[in-house]
A and B are shown apart, each in its own frame.
Chain A
Amino acid sequence: DADVTQTPRNRITKTGKRIMLECSQTKGHDRMYWYRQDPGLGLRLIYYSFDVKDINKGEISDGYSVSRQAQAKFSLSLESAIPNQTALYFCATSGPGIGETQYFGPGTRLLVL
């Protein structure tokens, strides 16, 4: 079984809709992250959470919100989706040490029409 799972794997939505991307992990890590990947831009950090009560904005948090429901679950929401949020979204987890390896989920491919 995968250590980091994301649902859905693919999603098509319309401009203005609210959608939620979910991430679950079985690695027992406290730290979780949401990234988006766009062609030619690499990975960019949206939000990160170091434990259930600690949530921080990343580079590109505008238009997104997150919820850390439990140690193992970290959800990303697009409150009102827009076409430039079309991207590949990755969830990741890591152990408590600074700079520790991040383990990625399989990604969610989102298309906003």
Chain B
Amino acid sequence: EDKVVQSPLSLVVHEGDTVTLNCSYEVTNFRSLLWYKQEKKAPTFLFMLTSSGIEKKSGRLSSILDKKELFSILNITATQTGDSAVYLCAVGDGGSQGNLIFGKGTKLSVKP
């Protein structure tokens, strides 16, 4: 059965801390892995990863994929209270005609 597992499920840090969110997957026909940030509304796209070992970076956020070990990490440096959100990992499965399989998310709380 295809699955996407995120860890930890929740995390509380203080402003300025660096956090690493994990996403492991078992998918029959992997095509891509995506990270989303969800606050109180719709998810916001962060990164899409298709190749191993190539880091994608945007400001304080970065992500990398390891297709051999079947996982990805999302790093956030110098966290701010505005980073508080649920971070969703999703894997595009070519075997199911392009649908995304979502993990349950990691809830990040950044305290001042």
On whether A42 and B88 interact (CB within 8 A), knowing A99-B94, A101-B48, A102-B100, the answer reads: yes
**CB-nearest residue of chain A to B91:** A99
Q: What count of chain A residues pass the 8 Å CB interface test?
A: 26
Q: Is the interface of A mostly helix, strand, loop or mixed?
A: strand
Please determine whether A42 and B99 come into contact, CB atoms closer than 8 angstroms.
no
Nearest-neighbour CB distance to chain B for A103, whole angstroms, equals 7
Report how far A104 CA is from B44 CA in the complex, Å.
Answer: 8
**CB-nearest residue of chain A to B32:** A99
Please determine whether A105 and B31 come into contact, CB atoms closer than 8 angstroms.
no
Contact of A68 with B by CB under 8 A: no
Contact of B68 with A by CB under 8 A: no
- For the complex with contacts A44-B102, A102-B100, 15 further pairs of A-B residues with Cβ separation under 8 Å are A31-B98, A41-B104, A42-B104, A43-B88, A43-B90, A45-B100, A56-B97, A90-B42, A90-B43, A94-B98, A98-B94, A100-B32, A101-B45, A104-B43, A106-B41
